[in-house]
Amino acid sequence: MREPAWRIFAAEYNDASHVIQSKEEKAPKYVITPLGAKVNRLFIVGVLTDIEEIGAEGIRRRARISDPTGIHVVYAEAFKPEIASILADMPIPSYIAIVGKARIYEPEEGVLYLSARAEMAKEVSIKERNYWIIEACRSMLIRINAIRDAMNMKSPTASQLKELGYPPLVAEGVAEALKIYKDIDLHHYEIMAREALSFITSARKEIRQNYEEEEQKLLKIIEELQGEEGAAWDAVIGKAGEEGIERSIVEEVIASLMEKGQIYEPQLGKLKVV
């Protein structure tokens, strides 16, 4: 059977600390994540942020791919020169799709470095990236539900979870995860999913635009409204709306002004120019 390619967020994958392999000859290795993904192959779509040559020959390459939760590390190995050259030709940043096998490096007992060894690489568009985020979230929610169901069982087994209609790999992965991970923080992952989805719902522009004009306008608005205590967030948004700036852009610009240190929050919900 060909191993399916898990759509999995970097944060969940990198949180994994457990690998299983059955005793049979040439049996595949699986990474078991805290939410019970049983990963041998991955499908990753994200933003290519960095690529470096590694090894003496300079044929191998290591790429970093950013998703809404963290960074996936991907290797293009020497025996896949076509993948290494696709990566080398790709602009940074750009949206990239990777199919890869789980690459497991355990330099010593208890220390696990997880990454992917690329089998396929291709530049894609924001459309495929957003589709991937949705698939990754959906798959994560199924596992969160499976873990909840399993926690209600006396001694959960893979076959019981299959009876409930979970796909076999999910059932097996979740049963395994519950054995090895203590106190799985589902809430933490739910927040992660929510943040990832907000990438899509908050209608970010395709590529971060230059908001200089809006920044100037907003600085002026805040200055006008701030008085002693600072300008109320809602008032700023209202005023900006009157001047034709969309709410989602206002939020983005405020975040960027704060990052640059041009405005600050003297108290929660109030903004002041520095």
Q: Which of 21, 157, 209, 216 binds other proteins (CB under 8 A)?
A: 157
219 forms part of the interface with other proteins (CB under 8 A): no
Cα separation of 83 and 245, whole Å?
43
Cα separation of 140 and 158, whole Å?
18
Cα separation of 238 and 19, whole Å?
52
Piece of 104-112, 165-173, 175-183, 247-255 that binds other proteins (CB under 8 A): 165-173
- Residues 22, 80: contact at Cβ < 8 Å? no
Judged by CB under 8 A, the chain residues 28 through 47 that form the site for other proteins are: 43, 45
Cα separation of 7 and 186, whole Å?
18
Report the number of secondary-structure helices (H) and strands (E) in the chain: 9, 12
CB of 5 to other proteins, least distance (A): 5
Q: Concatenated DSSP letters for 73-113?
A: EEEE-TT-HHHHHHHHTS-SSEEEEEEEEEEEEEEETTEEE
Residues 6+ apart with CB under 8 A from 157: 175
Nearer to other proteins, 169 or 253 (CB): 169
Radius of gyration of the chain (CA): 23
Residues pairing with 61 in the sheet: 53, 76
4 forms part of the interface with other proteins (CB under 8 A): yes
13 forms part of the interface with other proteins (CB under 8 A): no
How many chain residues interact with other proteins (CB under 8 A)?
A: 43
Long-range contacts of 155-163 (CB under 8 A, 24+ apart): none
Piece of 49-57, 69-77, 118-126, 215-223 that binds other proteins (CB under 8 A): 118-126
Nearer to other proteins, 148 or 208 (CB): 148
90 forms part of the interface with other proteins (CB under 8 A): no
Judged by CB under 8 A, the chain residues 123 through 152 that form the site for other proteins are: 124, 127-128, 130-131, 133-135, 137-139, 141
Q: Which of 193, 254, 257, 271 binds other proteins (CB under 8 A)?
A: 193
Piece of 10-18, 166-174, 217-225, 240-248 that binds other proteins (CB under 8 A): 166-174
**Element housing 228 (H / E):** none
Q: For binding to other proteins (CB under 8 A), which residues are involved?
A: 1-7, 25, 43, 45, 97, 99, 119-120, 122, 124, 127-128, 130-131, 133-135, 137-139, 141, 157, 159-160, 162-163, 167-170, 190, 193-194, 197, 200-201, 203
